[in-house]
Chain A
């Protein structure tokens, strides 16, 4: 190459690259720094650093992601049926979705809180709320399955839930919609809200060993909308803080009528005091009806218990139980910093963020620095409890999490950004745009005493142009930011299921080694288990036929069943005889008005099937299990009602007559 040509080439190259830079789009995509890929790349076969449990919103389920990769690891069915996993379809899981309203196949799962010991996430359980038909659920992190669902009486919608105390003593539930109490006559004009509608917060105790939930007590309050909450921690352990709006007590056009007051409240509840009142017999036993569903891992079966009474404390009569702290403009998030001293209220219509001091609040109570009362509950003077205000943080503050280094990060819905500020001097330190309109945000351990401030995830309400278009409906969008430095750095976008509200995350070590691989067949106490093919059988009880079936790679026993008649109800109780990790078998039969079964190793699960016509019905294993999975099939013969075809069942012996005759 001649020198002149090379110079020309270099020149052309300079133009080319310069041109590229000039064309660089100034859109959302450029907010990503160059080393982002490196920070989120988890090589094939390697594990993520964190488990991230994300509410599935209106899907009713709980999603499990790995961070920093954003890979979806599992969707755990909780409040909504899931035919893929047989959740709400198998006889064993149907009771989990029972309520006092009957079987409810769906709910709106908003918030997620993991169990804590000494203010740190301990990796045992995840609690979630059902917002529509008020319920609480507990997911067991050894099985990654919903272990328990508890309905909440005297509640119109369980929104400010399932926040927990620092040793998981209680998980709370505050009603978003005030309603007439369950045992009152609810057939009243809607515009008698002020007289007849009551607020209610429920304290549910959690058994330290089993995790089982029980309603310890409820506190009845004036009718308002409870929105979110968080427990005190460290010095403020013993208190719980609930944000509330609609202190106007509007019953129509809340958009306008519940936005009139300059300040609503954060309600501070002294739950240690509540315990004293309960002990002193100050609670009223109130007749109600609610259900409690538990899944038993030995019988692999859920049961429903109907309960008929709760103990209610009256916040208006019992001194020192509840206080209101004025908080500007319809507060939403109510977050307590890792030290337990600062309570951050996020007025979603406010142009500032008030930070309250727990010490000042106690002093104000002691000095009776009250500006009056609201429904007979003392209202503390705003200034008397206020530590300070973050000025001009952005528009529409919703939620705050903490990085453990003295900073808070608040999500801004209206101005679509995350804003980092210092808790002590209340100065804004950094802000990053989010795409688009962040609702919730999450730092691993970010609402506990020990945040792990490496990442923050923004859960955005609007997705628009972030992914390839998929018609009018788009998945929601999560965005991962590196917050280890001074500046927050966007490093990953990933889609989520449903509409994610709160989420939690914890280092993988806290969970992964406790994760269960199989259920021991010896410990299977299911009444219809067949522990080995020797125990397989078909039993007729009137028109109910029980098929005790086993599954192992790769055959079902029995795989030929005859003598089923029209009018029968057939129950396939399938026991998976495998004892190896990741070998579930599935079960499905033609024409079932039902889901499939997905049976874990060592487990027994039941599919109910009612034949609608005579004939031959194939059934098969739905979950690819071995090279001979396609052979894992069987036939069931249905004869007319009153048929004389005898009940018979077998595997490997029901040969053609000619073969038998010739002795083949």
Chain B
């Protein structure tokens, strides 16, 4: 009888306490799951691996090189990119730039270099690259024109005249 009584009391207390903390936990959990869903949602099939994600849609490139733009791109490269990227195909911190303008559409390159964090999270090729390099490409705070000029410099590097 005594035992039963004690069990009864403990059970009631546990039940009461358990209930309270459960309610609180579930509120938190639902908040979290909401956030997680949002993230996964945007990292899903709507991502276009050809274009990447960012403000650039269809970038038209002239057949021949814009030398002024390429020159400006070279200057930006030296300040903001050269620490990690060589102009050959050799990897330094990140991959070398040789051939990059043939491999990717200009809008993909421009989106990636102006919006690296979002794209590293979603782009299959960038995720594979991250496993090799282990350093996320930093956001180097490039303007729209900077990005376009860099593409022109990459084209020059790939032999466009």
Contact = CB atoms under 8 A, between A and B. Distances in A.
Interface of A: 1, 5-6, 8-9, 12-13, 16, 43, 518, 520-522, 531-534, 550, 552-555, 557, 577-581, 583, 626-628, 652
Q: Among A1, A13, A552, which residue has the most Cβ atoms of chain B within 10 A? A: A552
Given A533-B82, A534-B82, A627-B134, A553 B141 contact: no
B136 interface: yes
B79 A626 contact: no
Given A532-B79, A552-B83, A5 B138 contact: no
B9 A9 contact: yes
Contact of B78 (A534, A555, A581, A583): A534
B2 to A, nearest CB: 10
Interface residues of B, number: 24
A550 B139 contact: no
A620 B122 CA distance: 33
A10 to B, nearest CB: 9
Nearest to A602: B141
Given A6-B8, A16-B9, A555-B83, 20 more contacts: A5-B5, A13-B12, A13-B13, A43-B31, A518-B141, A521-B80, A532-B78, A532-B82, A532-B83, A533-B78, A534-B78, A550-B83, A552-B84, A577-B80, A579-B139, A579-B141, A579-B142, A580-B141, A581-B139, A626-B135
A555 B140 contact: no
14 contacts: A1-B4, A5-B8, A8-B5, A12-B5, A518-B141, A521-B80, A532-B80, A532-B83, A552-B84, A553-B135, A579-B80, A626-B136, A627-B135, A628-B134
Contacts of A578: 138, 140
Interface in B133-158: 134-136, 138-142
The 7 A-B residue pairs with the shortest CB-CB distance, nearest first, are: A579-B141, A532-B79, A580-B139, A579-B140, A532-B78, A552-B83, A9-B8
A527 B36 CA distance: 47
B93 interface: yes
Main secondary structure of the interface of A (DSSP, over half): loop
Interface string B65-82: 000000000000011101
Nearest to B141: A579
A105 B127 CA distance: 49
Given A534-B78, A550-B83, A9 B138 contact: no
B4 A5 contact: yes
Contacts of A8: 5
Given A5-B1, A577-B79, A12 B9 contact: yes
Count chain B CB atoms within 10 A of each CB in A1, A518, A577 and give the residue with the most: A577
A662 B8 CA distance: 82
Contacts of A580: 138-141
A317 to B, nearest CB: 59
A552 B137 CA distance: 11
A518 B139 CA distance: 11
A111 B5 CA distance: 62
A521 B77 CA distance: 13
Given A12-B9, A579-B138, A579-B140, A555 B93 contact: yes
Nearest to A4: B1
A262 B13 CA distance: 63
B141 A554 contact: no
A1 B12 CA distance: 13
B117 to A, nearest CB: 8
Contacts of B1: 5
A19 to B, nearest CB: 13
B139 A628 contact: no
A579 B76 CA distance: 12
Contacts of B84: 552-553
B120 to A, nearest CB: 12
A79 to B, nearest CB: 33
A396 B140 CA distance: 57
Contacts of A1: 4, 8
Contacts of A518: 141
Contact of B138 (A520, A522, A583): A583
Contacts of B5: 5, 8-9, 12
A41 to B, nearest CB: 11
Contacts of B80: 521, 532, 577, 579
B79 A531 contact: yes
Contacts of B139: 579-581
Nearest to B1: A5
Contacts of A520: 141
A1 B5 CA distance: 9
A580 B140 CA distance: 6
B23 to A, nearest CB: 14
B12 to A, nearest CB: 7
Contact of A554 (B13, B79, B93): B93
Contacts of A12: 5, 9
Given A522-B79, A531-B79, A577-B80, A553 B12 contact: no
A43 B5 CA distance: 40
B129 to A, nearest CB: 14
Given A12-B9, A580-B138, A557 B83 contact: yes
**Which of B5, B139, B141 has the largest number of chain A CB atoms within 10 A?**
B141
Nearest to B136: A626
Contacts of B82: 532-534
B112 to A, nearest CB: 14
A226 B27 CA distance: 55
Contacts of A532: 78-80, 82-83
Nearest to A16: B9
Nearest to B28: A43
A13 B9 contact: yes
Contacts of B93: 553-555
B12 A9 contact: yes
Contacts of A521: 79-80
Interface string B22-38: 00000000010000000
Contacts of A552: 83-84, 138
Which of B1, B84, B135 gathers most chain A CB within 10 Å?
Answer: B135
Identify the interface centre among B79, B92, B134: most chain A CB within 10 Å of its CB: B79
A43 B35 CA distance: 13
A652 B92 CA distance: 9
A583 B92 CA distance: 20
B74 to A, nearest CB: 11
